[in-house]
Amino acid sequence: MKNYKLAIVGATGVVGQMVLKVLEEKKLPISEYVLFASSKSAGKKVSFMNKEYEVQELKEDSFDSHIDFAIFSAGGDTAKKYAPIAAEKGTIVIDNSNAFRMDKDVPLVVPEVNPEEIKKHHNIISNPNCSTIQAVACLKPLDDKYNIKRIVYSTYQAVSGAGSKGIHDLENGIINYLTKENYKLEKFNYPIFNNCIPHIDVFLENGYTKEEQKMINETRKILKKPDLKITATTVRVPVFNSHSESINIEFEKSFDLNELKQTLKDSPSLKIIDDISNNKYPLATSATGHDDVLIGRIRRDYSVISGVNLWVVADNIRKGAASNAVQILEHLI
């Protein structure tokens, strides 16, 4: 076994915990792990790979003794401060945050879509936004074949995407509904239980949310189509885990619907669940716990010359974050 050393930054968070789980499943040639979080978690014990690890506080000197790779899942501010320090010390950072995704020198990678970008890194590689990852996994094979002209995204995003505070808001909302026990919102502006909130991340001057703009910009970067016409509405829904997306696509070329379905079937990591006569279509509860991107409700958009509608569901914490980061790590190794 090679002597790779891996740091997991944000090891106590929702994504960090999933990174540990995916690493346990994958059994990569890594002999040493270091778990970092904020000062609040320093000294906390985490069991991982049949061993007990003590969480360390992330500090400026944390990367002084050589660490080969680091998976960061600790938010944009932590990444902005510590990822350049790690990169400077020779650690290859895979960052789950928004901090570097649109930087020219930082590859933005979904391994099934653009693995060739990985080797262009300068010690920092970005994991795309969770809602972008599952979308581009479906879009890439279709773009290769039919040349995408325009995309309309509408998302239905789970609270786990907002971290542990988002999960608490839904849990506490359910308890409040049943017991009338008062609670304080930790993450959202409004109760997420019994609501759909059309507001993820901050509002921008153009009236879009940052989440919507991320989907637009990241899709263009990953598909290498800087002028692709895209619009998006991203909505937080009272679902614990797995994001659902309606994706409307218009193509330059014409297509045969059966052939389009076959193209999706033939793509790695995509799974078609599309049997409306038996009421079978992708659900958040079916996607949770797996890395597959589920696609269903595949139907022609009759309002344009060449268009299709897809319903796309994936585990946002696994494929949308942790598993994608670990897949990038596998490629690096």
Task: State in angstroms the smallest separation of the CB of 43 from ligand A2P.
Answer: 11
Query: Least distance to ligand A2P from the beta carbon of 140, Å?
Result: 29
Could you tell me if 65 and 7 are in contact, meaning their C-beta atoms sit under 8 angstroms apart?
no
Q: Which residues of 302-323 are buried (b: 16+ CB within 10 A; e: fewer)?
A: eeeebbbebbbbbbbbbbbbbb
320 binds ligand A2P (CB under 6 A): no
Q: Angle 323-332/14-26 helices, nearest 10 degrees?
A: 50
CB of 5 closer than 8 Å to CB of 32 = yes
Q: Is 196 a catalytic residue?
A: no
Scan residues 267-306 and list those touching ligand A2P (CB under 6 A).
none
The residue among 13 and 307 lying less far from ligand A2P, judged by its C-beta, is 13
Report the site for ligand A2P in 17-36 (rule: CB under 6 A): 36
Q: Which residues pair with 231 in a beta bridge?
A: 152
Tell me if 75 contacts ligand A2P by CB under 6 A.
Answer: yes
> Given the complex with ligand A2P, which of 171 and 301 has the nearer CB atom?
171
Residue range at the interface with ligand A2P (CB under 6 A); choices 10-18, 241-249, 274-282, 311-319: 10-18
CB-CB neighbours of 1 under 10 Å? 7
Q: Report the 3 state secondary structure along 151-212.
A: EEEEEEECHHHHHHHHHHHHHHHHHHHHHCCCCCCCCCCCCCCCCCECCCCCECCCCCEHHH
Residue nearer to ligand A2P on the CB measure, 166 or 296: 166
Near ligand A2P by CB under 6 A, which window of 74-82, 113-121, 227-235, 298-306?
74-82
> To the nearest whole angstrom, how small is the minimum distance from the Cβ of residue 3 to ligand A2P?
25
Does position 16 bind ligand A2P by CB under 6 A? yes
Q: Tell me if 13 contacts ligand A2P by CB under 6 A.
A: yes
The residue from 199, 243, 290, 331 that is catalytic is: 243
d(CA 213, CA 211): 5
What are the tokens at 106?
């930082």
Assess whether 243 carries a catalytic annotation.
Answer: yes
Per CB under 6 A, the list member of 163, 282, 296, 307 interacting with ligand A2P is 163
HSE on the CB side for 39, CA within 13 Å?
Answer: 2
Query: % helix / strand / coil in the chain, to the nearest 5?
Result: 35, 25, 40
Helix (H, G, I), strand (E, B) or coil at 247: strand
**Which residue of the set 66, 121, 122, 130 is catalytic?**
130
Residue choice 62, 78, 209, 288 for contact with ligand A2P (CB under 6 A):
78
Which strand ranges, in their side-by-side order, compose the sheet holding 270-272? 229-236, 148-157, 243-251, 307-314, 293-300, 270-272
**Distance of closest approach, residue 19 Cβ to ligand A2P, in angstroms:** 10
Q: Which of helix, strand or coil describes residue 29? A: coil
Q: Is residue 127 close enough to count as binding ligand A2P by CB under 6 A? A: no
Where does this chain touch ligand A2P (CB under 6 A) — which range of 9-17, 63-71, 205-213, 241-249?
9-17
**135 in contact with ligand A2P (CB under 6 A):** no
Enzyme catalytic residues? 130, 243
